[in-house]
């Protein structure tokens, strides 16, 4: 089942690393990411996309059959999604995933409808479905299913004014398994 757009995206803590459960919540409550995949002869390809989370923790991305994302996933299923927070202070969370291409026409249209809702901030009405179905067929749309297996977070550290008394500090983070439990 596709998850609806969250009414309020998760705000990452600024004084510590995100817990594993917070990382999953961050991903489930945001809507845009930089989708990265390996290219044959050059550095990684990156594109900003809307993604749709599901209730079983897949992240779904709509693309055209002829685009690089679909071709790359057929060659190598390892992808990265850098989930973006649209609010200041700007935060991001890298998600490492195994991807597959799904050509199910019903899923393609469902994902495109959900993307339209995320783009506009409100769900598309049923009257839009025939238009989206025609667009999906004309553009030869598919869905890239991304199954996360790990995350990497960099907590936000920001300079809010030039005369801050406390020194601005940074710390390191690390990759955490997607299904890792929170420390006790």
Q: What is the pLDDT of residue 173?
A: 74
Range of the domain at 52: 20-156+172-177
Residue 122 resides in a domain: yes
Rounded mean pLDDT, 151-179: 71
- Write the CATH number for 36: 2.30.110.10
In the predicted structure, residue 130 carries a pLDDT above the cut 80: yes
Residue 165 resides in a domain: no
In the predicted structure, residue 150 carries a pLDDT above the cut 90: yes
**Strand-pair partners of 71:** none
Q: What is the pLDDT of residue 28?
A: 97
Q: What is the pLDDT of residue 164?
A: 55
Residue 9 resides in a domain: no
Q: If DSSP codes are grouped into helix, strand and coil, which group holds residue 82?
A: strand
Question: For a pLDDT cut of 90, what percent of the chain falls above it?
Answer: 74
Domain count within the chain:
1
CA distance 102 to 8: 29
Question: Residue 162 — very low, low, confident or very high, per pLDDT cuts 50/70/90?
Answer: low
Residue pLDDT, tens place only, 78-94:
999 999 998 877 789 99
Residue 71 resides in a domain: yes
Residue 10 resides in a domain: no
Residue 7 resides in a domain: no
**β strands within 8-73, DSSP E:** 32-37, 45-50, 52-53, 59-64
Q: Output b/e per residue, 123-146; b: 16+ Cβ within 10 A.
A: ebeeeeeeebbeebeebebbbbbb
Q: What is the pLDDT of residue 171?
A: 63
Residue 40 resides in a domain: yes
Residue 95 resides in a domain: yes
Q: What is the pLDDT of residue 88?
A: 74
State the DSSP code for 148. E
């Amino acid at each position: 089942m596709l998850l609806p757009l969250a009414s309020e995206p998760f705000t990452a803590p600024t004084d510590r690393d995100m817990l594993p459960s917070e990382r999953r919540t961050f991903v489930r409550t945001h809507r845009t990411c930089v989708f990265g995949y390996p290219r044959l002869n050059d550095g990684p390809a990156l594109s900003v996309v809307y993604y749709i989370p599901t209730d079983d923790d897949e992240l779904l991305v709509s693309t055209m059959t002829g685009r690089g994302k679909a071709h790359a996933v057929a060659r190598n299923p390892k992808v990265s999604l850098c989930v973006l927070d649209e609010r200041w202070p700007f935060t991001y969370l890298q998600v490492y995933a195994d991807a597959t291409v799904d050509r199910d026409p019903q899923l393609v249209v469902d994902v495109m409808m959900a993307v339209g809702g995320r783009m506009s901030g409100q769900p598309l009405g049923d009257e839009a479905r025939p238009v989206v179905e025609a667009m999906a067929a004309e553009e030869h749309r598919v869905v890239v299913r991304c199954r996360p297996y790990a995350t990497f977070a960099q907590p936000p550290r920001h300079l809010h004014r030039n005369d801050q008394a406390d020194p601005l500090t940074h710390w390191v983070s690390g990759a955490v398994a997607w299904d890792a439990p929170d420390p006790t």
